[in-house]
Structure 1
Amino acid sequence: MDDATGLLTAFASPEFDLLAVTTVGGNVSAGKTARNARILRQIAGREDVPVFVGAERPLKREPAGAGEFHGAEGLGDLEPFEPAAPLGEGAAAEAIVRLAMERPAGTVALAVMGPMTNLALAMRAEPRLAAHLGPVVVMGGARSEGGNITASAEFNIWADPDAAAEVFASGCRMIVMGLDATHQVRATEDRIAAIEALETESARTAAAMLRFSQRIERVIVGWDAGPLHDPCTVAWLLKPELFDLAPCRIAVETDSDLTRGHTAVEFRVDAATAKHFWATKADAAGVFALITERLGAGR
């Protein structure tokens, strides 16, 4: 649900030169996420942006979904359909390498809204990629808030901790939107209603998904206003001033079943050489104002 809102916001933001959308197995299977990205692309009227299908499974683990939070098809109440435009040719990891390496270093940013399997595979294929990328903005991890899939792990990292560990160790510059920040960005009744009041197809789609999430969060978690996680990556790329960041070093637990996917966030680092930056504070009103403005201007 929140990934979809993030994608629709990105599609409606003219500042972005969107090179591609790459999909991965996560909350639902890789086949469904690839179809869903194409559905959202069609709703947004952005068939100019290629969609590449990504990894079907984690590097070393069995796939683990979260359909109970997002619906069996990963679309909430939205009825799936076969989009008109096809997938791009080739795998997501190949596309990431090609699109980034054919452009000047530091000019291609990635917003990662799911497990990091594709990015880890791309870095294995092209060892120069980590140093070549612009910032990699990740939704994943947890520290003071605790986990949302286990006591200490957030789902996106937990789903493929081995891929996350490789990417965090790669040396690329990473902006990390963990639960400490995304739990501050709540989809309150007023904020959902403001998006529902818009007349674009993108806004109607996002609002319907936010309503679905609101119902699910009330039943499963007991929250009236659930957090909006993944769009924080897009919001940071558009307006980084909406977030406070702290330089740090992040490592991921891969060996323990008890703490699989735990993100160890160490703030005792040299700020001048830090590669990881942990979001500590989010301007929730500003994030929702940005999303609402973009969805209202979209298709």
Structure 2
Amino acid sequence: MSPRKIIIDTDPGIDDILALLLALSAKPEEVEILLISLTFGNIEVKSCLRNVVSMFHILEREFQWRREQGRPEGYGTLRASPPVVAVGAEDPLEDQKMLADYFHGTDGLGGIHESHPHLTPKEAWEHLFDPAVDPTGIKPVPTGDSAHQSFIPSNRPAHEEILRVLRENDPDTVTLVAVGPLTNLALASAADPETFLRVKEVVVMGGAVNEPGNVTPAAEFNAYADAVAAARVYALTSPSPRSTLPPCTSLPAYPATLSKQLTLRIFPLDITLKHGVTQGQFRRMISPLLESGSPLAEWVSAFMAHTFRTLERLHPGHVGDVAELSLHDPVCVWYAMTADHAGWKPTPTSPEDIRIETTGQWTRGLCVVDRRSRHPIEAEEESSSDHGLWLSTKAGNRVWRMDSSEVEDTFGDTLLDRIFM
């Protein structure tokens, strides 16, 4: 069986780094990571780049340590095909920017670059991602004392790299996993909707339907951070995208007709909160590795210590070994790696007409679902009894909402085993 081809659009971020490590630690026959595209979100996009480069730097040190210890290197996917890394959106399309540094720290990893400078590379090669310096596209990192060959930088914007990957691969063969704000995806789909629709499916960590939000009472962070971008991507699931397209001055409307509808699979807080790792689980895995001198264990332990302290502060009573980090982003990557497993279950009502609120004073980023019990109608125009075409069989979004998995009780251990063993 051929490996699953994936793009990961991300804003690293603590659980984003765990998600990337999970993907990179796969076997080459399981998954091929074609692109890591970066967006603002948890932190500024330049800090996201610094964290990704640091991750690859630490992995190189980890591989050397494992060889010296006589341990298998692992991370076969990374060794088989280093991914392209591209820098994307710095700001949301229309909204005021909000970051999640209150949770992740100003650098996205709990201040690790200041507290553990020996774990941070001196060079982030930012010039290799700058089109003003060199417009030639993607290229290998130059060799040198601090350089490595674990990634290929691109100086094209991330949304252009997304489109390039989709053009260069057969239709319906690439899964796009989006675990940050959807700005890069909105830019790509606006620039070339038909190429964007070559994607097999888009897997989104975002939204909250029956759970309260985690950044406002109504909204999950990724949906809130760029609600207009999320609404535009969701609109591509509709038989009539213009029926749910939000107002947007920065991007054009989609064409009146498109060749197909987007397959969009969302992992809202309703399912991601069921997948976590406790401080006790993490401590039991990491302690012997720290004693043995694992660079990866030292690096991850440093930012996870910040994470668990923050969780204890935000959730009184959840302290010590029972403090739990929800693995929002890793569970989406795990789905992309194991999508054929029978344990993944969407809601019985999927696909659902889920829309993202973009203009509400208190409800920006809210997942709006029509909970009325009324008969659908064959309407193409709004009526006085159906403002917004919620009942129309020819309009509205068609979103697959994931509801459960077979790894809800074991995913924390699965994640740690994959990353560290």
Same fold (TM over 0.5): yes
Corresponding residue to 1:288 among 397, 403, 412: 412
User: Given that residues 26 and 418 in structure 2 are in contact (C-alpha distance below 8 angstroms), is that contact kept between their aligned partners in structure 1?
Assistant: yes
SS of corresponding position for 2:353: strand
Shift of the 213–99 alpha-carbon distance from structure 1 to 2, 3 Å rule, reads same
- Measured after TM superposition, the shift of residue 197 of structure 1 is 4.5
Shift of the 286–243 alpha-carbon distance from structure 1 to 2, 3 Å rule, reads farther
Corresponding residue to 2:368 among 264, 278, 286: 264
Q: Indicate the residue corresponding to 2:314 in structure 1.
A: 220
User: Given that residues 195 and 204 in structure 1 are in contact (C-alpha distance below 8 angstroms), is that contact kept between their aligned partners in structure 2?
Assistant: no
In structure 2, distance between residues paired with 1:98 and 1:132: 11
Shift of the 13–296 alpha-carbon distance from structure 1 to 2, 3 Å rule, reads same
SS of corresponding position for 2:153: coil
Q: How does 1:163-174 map to 2 (within 5 A)?
A: 163-171=229-237, 172-174=262-264
User: Given that residues 7 and 40 in structure 1 are in contact (C-alpha distance below 8 angstroms), is that contact kept between their aligned partners in structure 2?
Assistant: no
- Measured after TM superposition, the shift of residue 113 of structure 1 is 1.0
Q: Indicate the residue corresponding to 2:36 in structure 1.
A: 21
In structure 1, distance between residues paired with 2:284 and 2:419: 11
Q: Indicate the residue corresponding to 2:91 in structure 1.
A: 57
- Measured after TM superposition, the shift of residue 36 of structure 1 is 1.3
User: Given that residues 354 and 398 in structure 2 are in contact (C-alpha distance below 8 angstroms), is that contact kept between their aligned partners in structure 1?
Assistant: no
Q: Indicate the residue corresponding to 2:401 in structure 1.
A: 278
In structure 2, distance between residues paired with 1:110 and 1:191: 30
In structure 2, distance between residues paired with 1:176 and 1:194: 32
Cα deviation code 1:4-45 (max 9, x no counterpart): 100111111122111111111111101111221222133234
In structure 2, distance between residues paired with 1:129 and 1:209: 38
In structure 2, distance between residues paired with 1:139 and 1:24: 14
Shift of the 259–187 alpha-carbon distance from structure 1 to 2, 3 Å rule, reads same
SS of corresponding position for 1:6: helix
1:230 aligns with 2:329: yes
Corresponding residue to 1:177 among 267, 272, 275: 267
SS of corresponding position for 2:95: coil
1:33 aligns with 2:33: no
In structure 2, distance between residues paired with 1:31 and 1:189: 29
Corresponding residue to 1:44 among 32, 37, 59: 59
**Percent identity of equivalent pairs:** 30
User: Given that residues 4 and 206 in structure 1 are in contact (C-alpha distance below 8 angstroms), is that contact kept between their aligned partners in structure 2?
Assistant: no
In structure 1, distance between residues paired with 2:186 and 2:50: 22
Shift of the 198–281 alpha-carbon distance from structure 1 to 2, 3 Å rule, reads farther
In structure 2, distance between residues paired with 1:150 and 1:250: 18
User: Given that residues 272 and 328 in structure 2 are in contact (C-alpha distance below 8 angstroms), is that contact kept between their aligned partners in structure 1?
Assistant: yes
User: Given that residues 166 and 196 in structure 2 are in contact (C-alpha distance below 8 angstroms), is that contact kept between their aligned partners in structure 1?
Assistant: no
User: Given that residues 23 and 37 in structure 1 are in contact (C-alpha distance below 8 angstroms), is that contact kept between their aligned partners in structure 2?
Assistant: no
In structure 1, distance between residues paired with 2:264 and 2:234: 8
Greater CA radius of gyration, 1 or 2?
Answer: 2
- Measured after TM superposition, the shift of residue 238 of structure 1 is 2.0
Q: TM-score with structure 1 length normalisation?
A: 0.90
Question: Any stretches of 5+ residues in structure 2 without a counterpart?
Answer: 1-13, 61-77, 114-119, 125-146, 238-261, 377-392
In structure 2, distance between residues paired with 1:91 and 1:234: 23
User: Given that residues 26 and 64 in structure 1 are in contact (C-alpha distance below 8 angstroms), is that contact kept between their aligned partners in structure 2?
Assistant: yes
Shift of the 202–234 alpha-carbon distance from structure 1 to 2, 3 Å rule, reads farther
Q: CA RMSD in A?
A: 2.4
Q: How does 1:238-257 map to 2 (within 5 A)?
A: 238-240=337-339, 241=341, 242-246=343-347, 247=350, 248-257=352-361
SS of corresponding position for 1:284: coil
Shift of the 16–207 alpha-carbon distance from structure 1 to 2, 3 Å rule, reads farther
Shift of the 165–49 alpha-carbon distance from structure 1 to 2, 3 Å rule, reads same
